[in-house]
Amino acid sequence: MRLAPLALATALALPLALLPPGVAPAQQIAPQVPPPGAPSSFAPLSQRLLPAVVNIQTTQAGAQQRAGRDAPEVPQAPPGSPFEEFFRDFMERNRPNGQAPGQPGRPMPPRRGQSLGSGFIIDASGIVVTNNHVIDGADEINVVLQDNTTLRAELLGADPRTDLAVLRVRPESPLPAVVLGDSDTAQVGDWVLAIGNPFGLGGSVTAGIVSARGRDIRQGLYDDFIQTDAAINRGNSGGPLFNLAGEVVGINTAIYSPTGGSIGIGFAIPSNLAKNIVAQLRDNGRVRRGWLGVNIQQVTDEIAESLGLKDGARGALVARAQEGGPAAAGGIQAGDVILRFNGREVREMRNLPRIVADTTVGDRVQVVVWRDGREQTVEITVAELPSEQQQAAVQPTQPAQPQQTELAGLGLRVAPITPEQRERFSLRADSRGVVITEVSPDSPAAERELRPGDVIVEVQQERVGTPTEVQERLERLRRQGRATALLLIEGPQGQRWVPLRLNAPPRGQRG
């Protein structure tokens, strides 16, 4: 981890003699004209917002500083620079368990692990929002106001899935507060301010723009981050990202950096995602999320073509409606493409979990699905997302048909699911369909990464139980002039839909 401002301080200290030959000092420092619409200064806005942004200090009894937490880490300044003494004092004040400052070989006495982060006040009575990872595992949480007043904080609730937490402090007088704005209005290119506590240095303001929207950084099911180039470093976690109206449009949470310092790629939780979570944590101490009970996958162009889906790839394809879940009870089936949920468009697969999670538990909502070549509407009652989902195993009975069948033109051999095949491929007790026994190299099946042991459950949204049924479905699609067949495949990772190119079988063979 390196402190980004240090590089700037070193660059400014370069003598003019180091400028490239022929470049006059006046050319090097000429002021730039602000672009149209840019504020001449962020000072008035910063002065108004800074009092509502707080530092979060946490301690953990008998613990070292934990990896990944926003603990201060400061580099060595160049010898003789004016920053050397400042950083040395800072390091000694925040030194982790180890050697005593100035006394090599003498261990420091055991002390409480410390961590630093940021937060912001949303209610004058003392309600503070921050990241869950800032306070996770803390035995004691303190909130430090801009005037250095320290208040003991109570954790009202935390949600690891969205990395949000809500604290309460009890001030003697009302505190300055900010509001959670409408993050949907934040457009790429809009100015934003990030305020927080980088490296434990205290309230700091950085400016930048919204670089991108809807970023999925593989942190969880509900990823929908705002990306910004406003400098965000360790210690900024939990701090607010403001628009020029002074509204919080994001909660600074993560950075992408090979060095650990800011390189202009920071991520903030959108305020519209945070609003419902924060309200539930404040009122109930926990989050109740809506649950639909489906396994879904992305709709590709080939899948959309196979299903005759108008307007191209969109929506979320249902691979499985879990038995006993709200979707199955409401009539949603495997092979349905969910296009709209409770009036909100499902543009792609990863939109659906967030939309469902935001829906009030117990609400009865309309779901528009694509089925049998047209849009249909079903109604489901949203249930609460369970902490654990258990599946009951059912032992199926299958007729003994040990023979294998070649699906010509696809590069597949298949067989019925018999006790022998179930043991050979370690199939689940409730697996039903036709098991793939061989996959030819360079075949359409190999292109789609089908493997021996995968089970064909459906062909073009029709259940199959024997190789003959698979052949009949494929032959019917060929007669209809279809270029692909849509197969529901069950593998070790669950069920998924696979569009398979229908090559013509060799002369004299039927597929």
Question: What's the pLDDT tens digit per position in 210-249?
Answer: 999 888 776 667 778 999 998 888 888 999 999 999 999 9
Distances 407 to 404, 414, 436, 467 between C-alpha atoms, Å: 10, 7, 10, 9
Comparing 75 with 361, which gets the higher pLDDT? 361
Domain ranges of the chain: 1-6+44-95+109-287, 290-384, 405-501
Structure confidence at residue 186 (pLDDT) = 92
Residue 108: predicted pLDDT: 54
Q: How far apart are CA 146 and CA 119, in angstroms?
A: 12
**Strands 266-270, 316-321: pairing kind:** unpaired
Q: Is pLDDT larger for residue 384 or for residue 74?
A: 384
Rounded CA gap, 241 and 344, in Å? Answer: 26
pLDDT exceeds cutoff 60 at 199 = yes
What is the C-alpha separation between 504 and 221, in angstroms, rounded?
41
Helix (H, G, I), strand (E, B) or coil at 18: helix
Residue 6 has pLDDT above 50, yes or no: no
Q: Compute the C-alpha angle 498/499/500, nearest 5°.
A: 105
The model's pTM: 0.62
Q: Would you please indicate which residues are annotated as catalytic (active-site) residues?
A: 133, 163, 237
Torsion of CA 82, 88, 94, 96, to 10 degrees: 150
Rounded Cα gap, residues 104 and 107, in angstroms: 8
Q: Report the share of the chain in percent with pLDDT over 70.
A: 75
Q: Which of 68-72, 259-263, 497-501 has the highest mean pLDDT?
A: 497-501
Whole-number Å distance between alpha carbons of 159 and 133 = 10
At the topology level of CATH, where does 1-6+44-95+109-287 sit? Answer: Thrombin, subunit H (2.40.10)
pLDDT at 88: 56
What confidence score (pLDDT) does residue 3 get? 31
**CATH 2.30.42.10 matches 290-384:** yes
Q: Which residue has the higher pLDDT, 259 or 185?
A: 185
pLDDT at 462 over 70: yes
Q: What percentage of the chain has pLDDT greater than the value 90?
A: 35
Q: Do domains 290-384 and 405-501 have the same CATH topology?
A: yes
Q: What is the mean pLDDT of the chain?
A: 78
Q: What is the pLDDT of residue 275?
A: 93
Residues 77-128: tens digit of each pLDDT: 444 444 455 555 555 555 544 455 555 555 555 455 567 899 999 999 999 9
Of these ranges, 13-17, 72-76, 299-303, 400-404, the one predicted with the greatest mean pLDDT is 299-303
* CA 247 – CA 183 distance, rounded (Å): 9
Minimum mean pLDDT among 266-270, 425-429, 460-464: which range? 425-429
Other CB atoms within 10 Å distance of the CB of residue 177: 16
Do the Cβ atoms of 485 and 499 come closer than 8 Å?
yes
pLDDT at 478: 84
Q: What average pLDDT does this structure show over 390-407?
A: 46
pLDDT tens for 257-291 read 776 677 888 999 999 999 999 999 999 999 998 99
Q: Are 262 and 234 in contact (CB under 8 A)?
A: no
Query: Do residues 412 and 392 lie in contact, with contact meaning Cβ atoms separated by under 8 Å?
Result: no
Residues 248 and 51: beta-carbon distance below 8 Å = no
Cβ of 355: how many Cβ atoms within 10 Å?
Answer: 20
> For residues 337 and 394, which has the higher predicted lDDT (pLDDT)?
337
Strand, helix or coil for residue 470:
helix
Q: What is the pLDDT of residue 76?
A: 45
Q: Is 12 helix (H, G, I), strand (E, B) or coil?
A: helix
CATH number of 405-501: 2.30.42.10
Q: Which tokens hold the place of 237?
A: 């976690």
Greater confidence (65 vs 148) lies with: 148
DSSP state of 186: -
Q: 484, exposed or middle or buried, with CB in 10 Å at 0-12, 13-18, 19+?
A: middle
Q: How many residues does the chain have?
A: 511
Start-to-end CA span in the chain (Å): 60
Distance, in Å, from the CA atom of 70 to the CA atom of 265, rounded to the nearest integer, reads 17
